[in-house]
Amino acid sequence: MLQAAAGGTTVLIEATCNQVNHEGGYTGLTPVAFRARVHRIADEVGFPREQIVLGGDHLGPNPWRHLPAEAALAQAERWWPRMSRRVREDPHRHQHGLSGEPDHLPDSVTAERAARLAVIAESVASTAGTVPRYVIGTEVPVPGGALETIEHLEVTRPEAVAATLEAHRRAFAAAGAEAAFEAVIALVAQPGVEFDDRNVVVYEPERAVSSVPR
């Protein structure tokens, strides 16, 4: 916040789904408490609240992935109204396999679940006076970094980006959430950077250059 104040810019502060959710997350913070803590710090350092954007990363069913898919998604749907009411949103919605599912799901499944949550977010935002913006993606790590040893990373190919975008376009349209799709401002890709609890995969620009369309 002090850096943003010095530069006259807005500050974005995000929480991941396992840090902050309607059950408290591992920080013990609900969305209301998360916002209150950030605003308290802003007041202490003299940073204007209106220059703060609160965001959520991996806003999906990941904290409940031990549950069957529908039960986990139901938890995520309970959480979204609370997040939507309590923050100026820049939500990132990343999906990973749930109980009994592979870690990497087909784009069609990911997009369908993202659209399902976007419908809820848009509905709540319209009554709460917030304006959500979305970041979509399928080739993303789990919140907090990988839990297994990283042996190989695949840099996202342009055709994979196009397929992910099209899958979400179709899924949002099928869910009647075309307006939410228009609010998508970015798509997550894997440039070849990752970490786990023991290793860091250092960025190698030459690997990513080969993935840039000519």
Q: What is the mean pLDDT of residues 163-181?
A: 93
Please report which confidence band the pLDDT of residue 145 belongs to, taking 50, 70 and 90 as the band edges: low
Helical H segments across 87-187, by residue range? 107-128, 158-174, 178-182
More confident site: 165 or 85? 165
d(CA 111, CA 127): 25
Q: How confident is the model at residue 117 (pLDDT cuts 50, 70, 90)?
A: confident
**Which one has a higher pLDDT value, 148 or 190?**
190
Ranges of each domain in the chain:
2-209
**Whole-prediction pTM value?**
0.69
Range picked from 39-53, 115-129, 149-163 for highest mean pLDDT: 39-53
CATH topology of domain 2-209: TIM Barrel (3.20.20)
